[in-house]
Amino acid sequence: MTDRRQPPLTEPFEIEGVRIPNRVLLAPLAGIGNWFVRMQARRYGAGMAVSEMVSSHGLHYGNEKTTSELMRIHPEEHPVSYQLFGQDPEIMRSAAAIAAESGPDLIDINMGCPVPKVMKTGAGAELLADPELALELAGAAREGSGLPVTVKIRSGIAPGDRSGFDLAIRLVEEAGVAAIAFHPRVARKGHSGSPDYELARELSRSIPVPMIISGGLSDAEAARRAYEESGADAVMIARGSFGYPWIFAELTGTEVPEADRQAIMDELLWVMDRAEEHLGTERAGRYLRKFYPWYLDRVDVPKGVKDELCQSAGLDRAREVVVSIRDRGAIPV
């Protein structure tokens, strides 16, 4: 197949009949991408957000945290996709059916996670070593959910391996997968090294469904370059959005406040409020410790302040500090 016309990132596209208002998406963020992080991305212009990775076993066996916290969708965040992971087709079929009940527009299957504790179960990027099982899983998710199924996949497991590329084509041709989110680095490289956007371009030419590029999109300029070099149909932003949802506005032209000290601290306060709403005060205080550096590093806050927030501050004290930084640029004692 030849290169397809590549429209601007602001142009809508479809994944098997699901209309997405632009081509800038939030990637699944393990341990992070809950409903309010997805809503934040949408507020700043993302066309769609994908949930954090959800265990198919957790859904099938009714794990309370999985079913009560990870399955929450805000009414205003559609279109939205749920990402599931696992290695048992029957459990995946059941989990996809349960996930569909909470109202996502799409189901995504993780075939790219390089984390050893996921791979050792046979899930994530380990599925590249068992393509027949991967095809079964995708088919089971489609049958169970009745929704379009997409797959997020790595290019291979080890350097020189293109098994993910080959599997992506088979997933589309044999399992009816509706789109591929392609991270053109091998699993053993993690997030290091340069993504192979030329390989991604080859995949885009080879499949008749959307190819969404992921990996290495650290800022808006990098995302635009990856989009052009890969010939993708959309971009999927992950780490480039940490503490900086403005990346979505920069790519889509969405009108938002300028990313100055006040706006960045206001956004952090919004995240803190939503985390408390979602998790309660005590758990939110612990959960937010990973978020603070992403925002505070952008406003030149002393290391001691970041250490306090990340190691010991409760939510009330953290709010006091953030408000003081926003309003006076000073730290309360």
- Tokens 């080959």: give the residue: 166
Rounded Cα distance between 155 and 166, Å, is: 8
pTM of the model: 0.94
For 149-170, write each residue's pLDDT tens digit: 999 999 999 999 999 999 999 9
Structural domain boundaries of the chain? 13-252, 261-328
Distance CA 89, CA 247 (A): 37
Given the residues 48, 113, 213, 299, the one annotated as active site: 113
Looking at residue 131, what is its pLDDT?
Answer: 97
**pLDDT at residue number 3:** 58
Could you tell me the two tokens for 178? Answer: 């509706």
**13-252: what fold?**
TIM Barrel (3.20.20)
In sequence order, the 6+-apart residues with CB closer than 8 A to the CB of 145 are 96, 97, 99, 100, 107
Q: What pLDDT sits at residue 332?
A: 53
Q: What is the pLDDT of residue 74?
A: 92
113 is catalytic: yes
Integer Cα distance of 236 and 48 in angstroms? 9
Q: What is each CA distance from 51 to 35, 76, 88, 307, in whole angstroms?
A: 8, 15, 20, 29
Q: What is the pLDDT of residues 220-246, one digit of tens each?
A: 999 999 999 999 999 999 999 999 999
At residue 269, the pLDDT reads 97
Q: What is the pLDDT of residue 152?
A: 97
pLDDT of residue 43: 96
Residues of the chain short of pLDDT 70, as ranges, are: 1-4, 329-333
